[in-house]
Structure 1
Amino acid sequence: MSALELPVEKNKTSRKTSVFIVDDSLVYRNLLRNTFSQDGEIEFLGAAIDGKFALPKIAQLKPDFVILDVEMPQMNGIQTLEEIKSKFPDTKVIMLSSLTQEGAKITLKALDMGAIDFVPKPNGGQEGALSETLELLTSKIKALSPIKPIIQSPAEKKNIPVNIVQTRREKDCSICAIGISTGGPIALRQLFQKLPSDLSGSIVIAQHMPPLFTNYLAESLSQAANILIKEAEDGEVLRKGVAYIAPGGKQLEIINGNSGPSARVFNGPEEELCKPSVNILFRSLAENFPKETTAIIMTGMGEDGYLGMKELKKNGAYLIAQNRESCTVFGMPNRPVQEGLVDEVLDVDHIAEKISNLLQRNSL
């Protein structure tokens, strides 16, 4: 019996996470097949060269995940995604995207249409970059797997009580800093749609994304928001009512410039394998504007942001974490919540409400 004919037992929590691949590249189909077949937690169900051949197999096999290429003949990634989300809404889709302007645009459209995440295909097929892509994709599948049990700690069951520090923070806050990764574009869209146009402070964001993608993310979010959202530029002074996204492949710090809080965009090393890094952004605010900052750690894999939050907490900033239920992956908020660093644990809608309250009553 071939892998495509194996029955999928959806009710067994001990089973492997099942994956189906849709990619017109034989090289990638073979690479992914070999990678998944050797992993003890992933079940490789099969592959197809495009959506036309994939959809009947997806209907038959009901995989947990479809790994979907963006550019394919006959039926491309966007067309295939639309069919998958319409006919198989419980199937999670991760896009494989080329590192090009067009690839970035299409990938962000796919996220708006319901793809849960994406992994960039490296240009040129370098062995090291391919290994990183395969490792990243495997880790995302495991982190996003629907069959893992969710264990909620006592600290997550309700919002951490507000204390006297919050009164001071609400009076003084003029910068909201957000650290976010997997699931970020969807969460940020939900958040910005709820923010008013009359914010009198600034928002700065470190979203884990490669070059090109963050610019199109800013453009996409701006179209759905009431405020301007843009990529941060080196040397620019933060303006009231504007949100700044750290450019992909760069690091962002907020420094005390001659005219006030200003962006420093630079080619620094990765931290926590991230560039941009939430830690680097948060640490700059802890050093320069701790008492003016509210920092928010949101959905994402790994622990980027934890060390920066420790510095912010030590220096008097107000800290918020997104709650588990509204996170795509409760990775980045997990440790700050478990260690009691944060002052509040909120869902996305209440985070938007908090930002609105903070930045409508104050000014830089």
Structure 2
Amino acid sequence: MSAIRVMIVDDSAVVRQVVRQALSADPGIEVISAASDPLFALEHMKRQWPDVIVLDIEMPRMDGLTFLRKLMAEHPTPVVICSSLAASGSDAAMNALAAGAVSIITKPTSGLKQFLEDSSNDIVQAVKAAARANIRRLARPAAGTPAAAPRPRLSADAVIPATPAGGLGSGAGMVRTTERFVAIGTSTGGTQALEAVLTRLPAVAPPIVIVQHMPERFTAMFAERLNGLCAIEVREARHGDRITPGRALIAPGGKHMMVTRSGAQYTVEVVDGPLVNRHRPSVDVLFRSCAKFAGRNATGIIMTGMGDDGARGLREMHDTGATTYAEDESTCVVFGMPKEAIRLGGVDHVLPLDRIPEAIMQSVRG
């Protein structure tokens, strides 16, 4: 299999050198060029086009966001943003995600060389994930999250125990309720996918709870941005929030979110805990809580994303009576999470992205 061809575009010679060393150490990656600004990069790209671009935001002559938008409009190419603005200028980071960046690596403003050396594995994994992105989907504004570094892999058991057969999720021992809600899990490409879905929902849409793999600081801004675009209310979830019609709650980055019952009403719990499937928030944690406390009153939807987080939880929802959906491969940026959910037998229906809003509206009718 041919190596992933990477171009580095950053005005810092230190960044270009350290990132080149980190990527070149992996036999599956070839750094074909490094440029100090986008205009130099375009000259290089006339000779050889990269498979993935590692791009800074703040640069002379042309800023990274302008270059990113130009790429996505003219020749869609997977881009990993590597920028200090991801921490202090989060609007720029969100604009990069909206413009089509596959993932973001946050550079510190000091201790840069040591940080890049320590984060070399994150950079390698982000490039590899970007290389697998669906370029057809990236032709529209698309986004994702930084690839997780290798860590001990824990299941949802580390946060919430499984539901025994015939337990709460199947309806035994629960106060009857007519309330229904939708749970959505997504990762790479999910910011674009969620925008496409949520902006098509009317103000009277059913309650929605969402896990989008994102680091801290980003989820609040992402929710705020969607709230300005959607007829429904969209915001970052807070512990104890009621799940109500016309509202979508997005799990905060760095926290797990679970659904629980309060009498006949559903609320969310926002809790600390270990990484599950190397993620926090984890889709599996959310979906398991839905299986445990809602059963057939919930609808589960898994959309574009790398890996398998959410696949087992969706199967648990399916087994306790929930109706379940997976996004079709034709519209996924990365088909990993839906594919694994389908393989495990937890999916009732497979739909392209443009049919998911209709499925959400149908869910309130049972």
Q: Return the TM-score normalized by structure 1.
A: 0.81
Counterparts of 2:308 and 2:4, CA distance in 1: 23
Shift of 1:290: 1.4
RMSD over aligned CA atoms reads 2.5
Residues 297 and 332 in structure 1, CA contact (< 8 A), matched pair in contact too: yes
Match of 2:20 in 1: 33
Code of the residue aligned with 1:174 in structure 2: it is: R
Amino acid at match of 1:312: M
Q: Give the count of matched residue pairs.
A: 323
Cα 1:45–1:30, aligned 2, differ >3 Å: closer, same or farther?
Answer: same
Q: Superposed, which structure 2 residues align to 1:1-364 within 5 Å?
A: 14-86=1-73, 88-98=74-84, 100=86, 102-121=88-107, 125-126=114-115, 130-144=119-133, 174-199=180-205, 201-257=206-262, 260-359=265-364, 361=365
Contact 1:247 1:276 in 2 (8 A): yes
- Alpha-carbon deviations, 1:19-63, whole Å to 9, x = none? 111123333322321233233332211111222322222233221
Distance 2:263 2:86 in 1: 37
CA contact 2:18–2:117 (8 Å) conserved in 1: no
Q: How many Å apart are 1:133 and its aligned residue?
A: 2.2
Shift of 1:99: 6.8
SS in 1 for 2:313: helix
CA contact (8 A) 2:86 2:104 kept: no
Q: One-letter code of the match for 1:137?
A: A
CA contact (8 A) 1:97 1:104 kept: no
Q: Matched residues in 1 for 2:255 and 2:30: separation? A: 36
Question: Structure 2: which 5+ runs fail to align?
Answer: 136-176
| Letter of the 1:303 counterpart | D
In the superposition, relative to structure 1, how do residues 97 and 257 fare at CA in structure 2: closer, same or farther (>3 Å)? farther
TM-superposed CA distance for 1:352, in Å, is 1.2
Structure 1, 119-128 or 135-144: larger mean CA deviation? 119-128
Change in 2 beyond 3 A, CA 1:42/1:135: closer
Question: Which amino acid letter does the alignment assign opposite residue 294 of structure 1?
Answer: T
TM-score normalised to structure 2 length: 0.81
Aligned equivalents of 2:127, 2:79: Cα separation in 1? 13
Instruction: State how far apart, in whole Å, the 2-side matches of 1:128 and 1:221 are.
Output: 35
Equivalent residue of 1:217, what SS? Answer: helix
CA distance in 1, matches of 2:134, 2:86: 28
Query: Cα distance 1:292–1:132, how it changes in 2: closer, same or farther (>3 A)?
Result: farther
**1:263-291 Cα deviation digits (max 9, x unpaired):** 11111111011011001111111111111
- Whether the 8 Å contact between 1:179 and 1:207 is mirrored in structure 2 is yes
* CA 1:304–1:134: 2 relative to 1, 3 Å: same
Q: Flag the 1:100–1:94 CA change in 2: closer, same or farther, 3 A.
A: closer
Q: CA deviation at 1:232?
A: 0.2
The amino acid across from 2:193 in the alignment is: A
Residues 108-127 of structure 1, C-alpha deviations (whole Å, 9 max, x = no match): 21222233333334675547
* C-alpha contact 1:175 1:294 (8 A) present in aligned 2: yes
Q: CA deviation at 1:131?
A: 3.6
Shift of 1:216: 1.0
Structure 1 residue 356: Cα displacement? 1.8
Cα separation, partners in 2 of 1:114 and 1:60, compared to 1, 3 Å: same
State how far apart, in whole Å, the 2-side matches of 1:126 and 1:15 are. Answer: 29
Q: What SS is found at the alignment partner of 1:333?
A: helix
Provide the rounded CA distance (Å) in 1 between the counterparts of 2:122 and 2:191. Answer: 20
Percentage of pairs with the same residue: 37
